[in-house]
Chains A and B, each alone.
Chain A
Amino acid sequence: MSSIVTPASERSTTWERVRYWLPAVVVFALGIATWQWVLPDLMHVEAFVLPRFSDVMDALWVERAQLARGAWITFKEAIGGLVIGSSVAFLSALMLARWRPFGDAMMPYMIAANAIPIIAFAPITNAWFGLLSPWSKITIAAVLCYFPVMVNSLRGLTSVNPESIELMRSYAAGDAATFRRVRIPSSLPFVFTALKVACVLAMIGAVVGDYFGGSTESLGVVILSSVALSHYEIAWAAILMASLLGMSLYASISLIERYALSWHPSVKRRG
């Protein structure tokens, strides 16, 4: 279920762990070496295409204050979009699952709306919220998160074994109790899968939203202006920051998932 790679067993010895991680570490080292030496020195890749790894690291260190400020601004936008978009998505999934005729009526439009490239709205949201407001970017991120979370939650809430529902009926359980005790818990694996997709989308939405306005210090603007000034190594450092933020968001959700789904066989078996 969780996509974080972990050792096969808790009881594995140190040597087994080393053996488990070794291939990944080797690939990582090879990747960095290629970036640092093979591409610029042997293949003569120019700095404006891809600056040398050590130059990017230098830029990351020298510009750390600016990058951290930008990252914090963009991270807040992504988190805001993720929280708002996912919450609204889960609530609407609950409503669509509870009132099925309504859900059936809405579903074709939801699927159609899902096909809209939300990013296309980015320049327009500035007109809605004002050029400097973070809300335009939070909105983009939220709408991007909405569809995967809504569709997956709905699937989780409705693909419950019918006998589980019949059992609740035999206990004279009402709709609220059936949702609370059966539908919502059994939807959680679906919801977490969707959240992991959504957190990546939230970062994309926030960074792309940055390109079109808002704070002049955001990570997206740093990328944009560094490229304009031919400071490619700073742009790459900013992209690296954005990637780290995305990964930490993903890792946090995986961690919450492991706790919330501690009953789940895939989590339990790993110990």
Chain B
Amino acid sequence: MSEPAVVLLEGVSKVFGKGGVTALQGIDLEVERGEFVSLIGPSGCGKSTLLRIVGDIVEPTDGEVAVNGKPARRARLDRDYGIVFQAPVLYDWRTVAKNISLPLEMLGWDRPRRAARIAEMLDLVELTGFEKHYPWQLSGGMQQRVSIARALSLSPALLLMDEPFGALDEMTRERLNMELLQIWAETGSTVIFVTHSISEAVFLSTRVVVMSARPGQITSVVPIDLLQPRTYETREEPRFFELVTQVREQLHATGADEVEKKLVQEDELR
């Protein structure tokens, strides 16, 4: 028997409120070990909600969610995944080292073991020497690296990322893209990555999942066959542009433009 999928979604839907907005409808998705899967789609397509359903932070209205071959809730209680949000969500009253240490404390690790892992993680995200700094003393990019280190500190099989670089400038974003790919290669983890950026999705992923809004559905999946490891030159390859174009066309075929227009109109009416 083959290894179970890291993430298996079957017929997942989510309705907010009683008879309210259908955020997700009939989502089927299988993510294999070692994959890097991006979810892309217009705002309101439920990609962040989908990520939270995988993490058992939001419960689906319907459907089955399995993580590491067990129910999502069990996987969460076993701390099978790490999560990174768009905001770094660091705790202000904790130093960089203490922030990374939090999940380890929750697991009851003793101090020497924690210290060793913190040093290892800081080395991984190239922040050695910043242990004693408080979050507000770091730049946005450094803060996000701390939050990635924290998510990885329990060596989770699965890394969930919700637009982690969305708030950063282009240069920082590209550098962190490279760092993330290195970490992904080194740790052999599986990544589900939510993004607004087509080029970021194509550059990072092994597969790009395109979603439509209202209701949120998967409309197509684009396999990314760019060579590994990806480098700065990858972004200049003709194949990269072909794939970006392909994803863009898929995205527009979902009626993303129509939905955006509708959303704008609704906002204006309000």
Binding site for B on A (CB under 8 A): 161, 163-164, 166-167, 169-173, 177, 181-182, 185-186, 188, 261, 263-265, 268
Contacts and interface: CB of A to CB of B under 8 A. Distances in A.
Contact of B106 (A166, A172, A188, A264): A172
Which of A167, A170, A263 has the most CB atoms of chain B within a 10 A radius of its CB? A170
B57 A170 contact: yes
Interface stretch (B73-81, B170-178, B230-238): B73-81
12 contacts: A163-B87, A164-B89, A167-B83, A167-B89, A169-B57, A170-B55, A170-B76, A170-B82, A171-B103, A185-B93, A186-B92, A264-B93
B15 interface: no
Contacts of B78: 172
A180 B115 CA distance: 22
Which label, helix, strand, loop or mixed, suits the secondary structure of the B interface? Answer: loop
Contacts of A181: 91, 102
Interface of B: 52, 55-57, 76-79, 81-83, 85, 87, 89, 91-95, 102-103, 106, 134, 136-137
Contacts of B57: 166, 169-170
Nearest to A170: B83
A4 B24 CA distance: 53
A171 B134 CA distance: 22
B83 A166 contact: yes
Contacts of B94: 263
Contacts of B77: 172
Nearest to A188: B93
B87 A166 contact: no
B89 A177 contact: no
Contacts of B106: 171-173, 177
A167 B95 CA distance: 17
B172 to A, nearest CB: 20
Contact of B79 (A164, A166, A172, A264): A172
Given A170-B76, A171-B106, A163 B89 contact: yes
Nearest to A177: B106
Contacts of A268: 134, 136-137
Contacts, number: 59
Contacts of A166: 52, 55, 57, 83, 85
Nearest to A172: B77
A166 B103 CA distance: 13
> Which of A171, A177, A182, A261 has the most chain B CB atoms closer than 10 A to its own CB?
A171
Contacts of B89: 161, 163-164, 167
Given A170-B82, A186-B92, 18 more contacts: A161-B89, A163-B89, A164-B89, A166-B57, A167-B85, A169-B57, A170-B57, A171-B79, A171-B106, A172-B78, A172-B79, A182-B91, A186-B91, A261-B93, A263-B92, A265-B134, A268-B134, A268-B136
Contacts of B56: 169
Contacts of B81: 170
A186 B135 CA distance: 14
B97 to A, nearest CB: 13
Contacts of A172: 76-79, 106
Would you list the 9 A-B pairs with minimal beta carbon distance, nearest first? A263-B93, A171-B106, A172-B77, A163-B89, A185-B93, A265-B136, A163-B85, A166-B57, A170-B83
| Highest count of chain A CB atoms <10 Å: which of B55, B56, B79, B91 | B91
A164 B94 CA distance: 13
A226 B85 CA distance: 65
Nearest to B52: A166
Given A166-B57, A170-B55, A264 B85 contact: no
A185 B94 CA distance: 10
B93 A171 contact: no
Contacts of B82: 170
Nearest to A268: B134
Nearest to B92: A263
B59 to A, nearest CB: 11
B89 to A, nearest CB: 5
B156 to A, nearest CB: 9
A161 B87 CA distance: 10
A154 B38 CA distance: 39
A261 B92 CA distance: 10
Given A166-B83, A170-B83, A185 B91 contact: yes
Contacts of B87: 161, 163
A164 B91 contact: yes
Contacts of B93: 185-186, 188, 261, 263-264
